[in-house]
Chains A and B, each alone.
Chain A
């Protein structure tokens, strides 16, 4: 399997622009997570989907952030409008079922820079 695939790998945008990050989970995995990684805050869970349904979005920092999972093989994380403090590495991760009973597989992330 190719693993969790994220695109783009790098994104540089200007403040106020819309940013869309994309994720293809491992085939057959029913749990999908979006994380954000920064030096200050470490790894933060933004949102968790189970069977394409958002279960917990309490980690989404503001209304500027939204996430969708239209089908089992695709998810997006959108930031509109983007701000410099959104600069971070965003990871998508998937697992067969939750975290406790099956390992979490991370993609290689999207490094977002907002100027």
Chain B
């Protein structure tokens, strides 16, 4: 099955700086890559996703890039704010599947 590795496990950044989280996947057939943000005491929430037919997607301060050849994808958060502090999960899935393979998560702390 699919194996998703996520790095780093923790990330501390100064408010206003950028944060980057990287994930690699093992199954080259995977073609949908969502990112989830989990705040304390809440369930994961989808924040952005990318499909294999594009290399980059942006939504305001967050962006995701995908390198299919290298089988890795990354989340970029620019101009970080305290409300960006949370655990972020990457995931991967094939188009005909329903079982998301999640990374282990990255705890992001934005220092004021």
Contact = CB atoms under 8 A, between A and B. Distances in A.
A99 B97 contact: yes
A4 to B, nearest CB: 7
Interface in B18-54: 32, 34, 36, 41-46, 49
- Which of A43, A107, A108 has the most chain B CB atoms inside 10 A of its CB? A43
B89 A103 contact: no
Interface size class on chain B is 20 to 34
A43 B89 contact: yes
A99 B43 contact: no
A109 interface: yes
Given A42-B105, A100-B32, A100-B95, A107 B43 contact: yes
A106 B98 contact: no
B86 interface: no
B99 interface: yes
Contacts of A18: none
Tell me the dominant secondary structure on chain A's binding face: strand
B77 interface: no
Interface string A1-43: 0001000000000000000000000000001010000000011
A100 B97 contact: yes
B93 A99 contact: yes
Contacts of A42: 102-105
Given A99-B93, A100-B32, A91 B99 contact: no
A42 B5 CA distance: 12
A6 B76 CA distance: 31
Interface of A: 4, 31, 33, 42-43, 45, 48, 50, 55-56, 91, 93, 98-100, 103-109
